[in-house]
Amino acid sequence: MQKSILQQRAKQLRRHSTNAEKNLWFQLRHRRLGVKFKRQLPLGHDIADFVCIEKRFIIELDGGQHQNNQAYDHIRTQYFNSIGFKVIRFWNHEGLAQLLLAVIESIQRHLMVSLRDDG
């Protein structure tokens, strides 16, 4: 995808976030977990849901359509890994109220491992 088209698509995705994305973004924004995240960030030829550039870390929230597109998601994950990013995935329903705390705890564990790896 052309860069300007990708940027327009990312902007559109930010404007039309799912409830799960909104809930998770509220927890990630303003360095609430100690690092800066960006949402719907174009990276190469794709758009990542939530990205921490500093830790080379991507969080993907997958909706029901991803059950039928697991091969595509695997290719996207491989691509993000190939450009130096670690990717973790959650289902959209995990980003909703009851499970959001568990998602945040999982993200914090991944960030702590990243901090230890950075030295």
Binned at pLDDT 50, 70 and 90, residue 116 comes out as low
- Is the pLDDT at 42 greater than 90? The verdict is yes
Domain count, the chain: 1
Please give the radius of gyration of the chain, using alpha carbons only, rounded to the nearest integer.
14
Which domain range does residue 97 map to?
Answer: 3-118
Q: List, for residues 51-108, the tens digit of each pLDDT value.
A: 999 999 999 998 766 456 778 889 999 999 999 999 999 988 776 766 788 889 999 9
Q: What are phi and psi of 84, to 5 degrees?
A: 95, 20
Q: Tell me, what's the pLDDT at 115?
A: 64
Q: Is 97 left (phi over 0), alpha (psi -120 to 50) or beta?
A: alpha
Query: Among 113, 93, 109, which Cα is nearest to 24's?
Result: 93
Please name every residue paired with 58 in a beta bridge, in sequence order, or none if there are none: 51, 87
7 versus 98: which is more confidently predicted?
Answer: 7
Question: Any idea what the CATH number is for the domain that residue 36 is in?
Answer: 3.40.960.10
**Residue 32: which residues within 8 A CB-CB, separation 6 or more?**
none
